[in-house]
Structures are given as structure tokens and as C-alpha cells.
A and B are shown apart, each in its own frame.
Chain A
Amino acid sequence: MGSLTDITAVRTALAAAAGTITGPPALRVQHWPVVGTISTPAFAVHDMITDFDLAMGRGADDWLFECRLYAANLGDGRTASDLLDKFLNPKSAMSIKTALEVDRTLGGTCSALRVERIHGYAVYTVGADSYLGARFDVRVY
């Protein structure tokens, strides 16, 4: 197992993997920081928590990336939650978890990856707009 060396490459690869979801509607990739109006549905890699030194000699670290899905504008009502459910359902053809785990090395940018958790099924406000969305915890080594 090697230590993750390029955070930007991992963030880019995570977004690219999510961007393979063709929908309909196709998932767009939104770069962090997310500002202005979002063209939904959109996926962005947000925060991260790093626990250093899983192994001796800087052999491995633990990276937890928080990704966020903005499914639809809150004003879309029932349609917004139905669409969000499709992205969250691991059995769906639009599953975020499945898309991110197709290549668990993200093209060689990491040693291993797992989408661990969905949480924060909620309304997120960006600028003047509110969106229905959810958060994904993606653990990367």
C-alpha cells in the first residue's frame, strides 16, 4: 500500500467518476468551492479529514472525503426527492456509490477507496438558492 501523494488528482478523479452517471438527467461536476447558481444535478468534492500515519515510515494515511450531491432545486418538490433517491440507491443505475467504486484506485491515484456512508439528506443553501441533496463519506487510502 502506498501513501496518497496527490490530493488534487484524487479530488479530480472522484468528480470524474461521479460524472460518468449519465442519468437522465446526467450528473454535472461542480468544483469546490461551490458558489453562485448550481446547475443540478451536481456533484462536488467538499471537505476532507485526514488521519496520518496508518503505517510506519509514512507508509499510509487515511483520507475521508466528504462529497455532496445537489439533486435538484428545492422548488421542484416531490421530483427533487425522487431524483435524489435514485442517486442514493446503491441498486440504481444512477448510484453514486457504484459509480465511485467502479475503479477503486481512481486510475492509480490511490491504493483503495470505499464509499462508506450517506448522510445529511437535507436542504442545502448556496447563495440565494436552496437544493435538496445529500453527503457521501468516501474513505481513500
Chain B
Amino acid sequence: MAGFALTDVRLYVAGADLTGQTNKVDFEGTLNDEDKTTFGSQGWVERVGGLRSAKVDVDGLWWAGDAGQPDDRIWADLTGGTSVPMTLCGTSGAVGTPCYVTKALDLSYKIGTKVGALLPFSVNTMTDGPVGDGNILHPQGTARTTTGNGTAVQVGAVLTGQRMYLGLHVLSIAGTGTPTITVAVQSNVDNTFGAPTTRATFTAATALGGQLLSVAGPITDTWWRATWTISGTTPSFLFAVSAGIA
């Protein structure tokens, strides 16, 4: 992908799509630098990579009032003290968009500005566990009202020692009769999905929220897709599914 103006970063945190309320996102992955220098190192420092970590710092426009707004989401995470699923992608969030999928723990939350200005917020998060590098399997903007299968995406094979990390963000629910969606992720040797294997199934969702699952390698299939089962009376769901290998 060539360089582009950053205007459409998609950020899903649990059941909140914070895209339209954020205006700066910094992702920084780090690898600890472990010194393995010995007397036999010929006078040069020798290094080996140690533990990996990542942080995601986000700035935006403060807004509150429902679970989909930044203040409600961040405050719940900060006071809850537990990490929540996060998916971050640099562009539209369409199927196949490159993304990172992880769990993140909010560590600081700052609000404030001078009189008359739009009220901004900033939140600093650290990842909790691996960061999967992959693609969006289901876009947040496509409403689903009936059971169905998503588009095939070539995320890649999962090698021995790796895992496929799968994120689900249920962002909007409408309908009556307890609208319920159960999302699963399948793999296949090619994009026909002639003989798919269901690799993971998320817990049935009846409320906004996020889930993160992982599947251990080796998996030689390179094609992946989301599937969903929907029940309820005139149900309609907006949700995003992400997949990434770590």
C-alpha cells in the first residue's frame, strides 16, 4: 500500500466503534533488548530479542451518553481494571483491510482543554498478550439480519507455535425477542470454502461487547471467513470480525 492520508483509522474496543470520535492513534510495538555479550563477543555488544509488547495511544473528541461513546467505554475499562478486545486498522475496515487484533488495558485517561475549545480526551493503553497481525473478516458497516457466511479472506497459514487471534465486536443490536448472534470463524484450503473447518465459535451475543479467541497452529489452510447465526424477531446486527496471526 502506498502512503496515504490518515483519515479513516478504525478502532473497535469491545462493543464500541470509536472511529468517529478519535483523531490520533499511535501504535508502538516493542521487543525487549536482552544483552548476551560475553568475553567472547570480540568487544561488541551482542543482543537477542526478549519479551514483546505493544501500546496504543489514542486521542479524540470527548463524548458520552451510551456504551458506544468513548467516555463510557474508557471509564468502564479503567474502573473495571481488565483488558478488553481491541481491533485497529488503518483504513476503512472493509473486508480484507489489514488490522491488528489484541486485548488492551487502559492505563491512563485524560480529559481537558481551555475554555471554548472542543473537549478532547486521550487514553493510553498497553496490550495484554499477543498482537495478531491480519485482516478484517467482517466489516462493521454491513448490517446482518439473517444467518449467513462472510467473504473469504486469505489471512494466511498458522505455523507451529503460532496462534490465530480472532476478535468479535458487536457494535449495534436492533430487534425484539432477544436478538442473538453467534459468530464463528472457519478456514479452508482455498476461497471456495467447499469443505470448511470451523476453527472457533464465539459465545452467543445478545448485548454490545467484544470477545477475543485464539486457535493454535499448525493450520495449513490460508483462507478464512466469518459465519454467523442470527435469531430473534426482526433482528439486525452491526459487528466486526478480525483475525490476526501472532
A interface list, Cβ under 8 A from B: 1-3, 53-60, 112, 114, 116, 141
Contacts and interface: CB of A to CB of B under 8 A. Distances in A.
Contacts, number: 51
Contact of A3 (B20, B23, B63): B20
B10 interface: yes
Would you call the interface of chain A mostly helix, strand, loop, or mixed? loop
B116 A56 contact: no
A55 B116 contact: no
B20 A112 contact: no
A56 B118 contact: no
B8 A56 contact: yes
A55 B10 contact: no
B89 to A, nearest CB: 11
A60 B19 CA distance: 10
A114 B20 contact: no
B93 to A, nearest CB: 8
A114 B25 CA distance: 28
B19 A54 contact: no
A54 B61 contact: yes
A58 B20 contact: yes
A139 B9 CA distance: 25
B229 interface: no
A3 B8 CA distance: 14
Would you list the 5 A-B pairs with minimal beta carbon distance, nearest first? A59-B20, A57-B19, A56-B9, A55-B23, A53-B7
Of A58, A60, A114, most B-chain CB atoms within 10 Å: A60
A117 to B, nearest CB: 10
30 contacts: A1-B20, A1-B61, A1-B63, A2-B20, A3-B20, A53-B7, A54-B61, A54-B118, A55-B21, A55-B22, A55-B61, A56-B6, A56-B7, A56-B8, A56-B10, A56-B11, A56-B20, A56-B22, A57-B7, A57-B9, A57-B10, A57-B20, A58-B20, A59-B20, A59-B61, A60-B20, A60-B21, A60-B61, A112-B118, A114-B116
Nearest to A53: B7
Interface in B2-27: 6-11, 19-23, 25
Contacts of A2: 20
Contacts of A114: 116
A2 B21 CA distance: 8
A59 B19 contact: yes
A59 B20 CA distance: 4
A60 B22 CA distance: 9
B21 A59 contact: yes
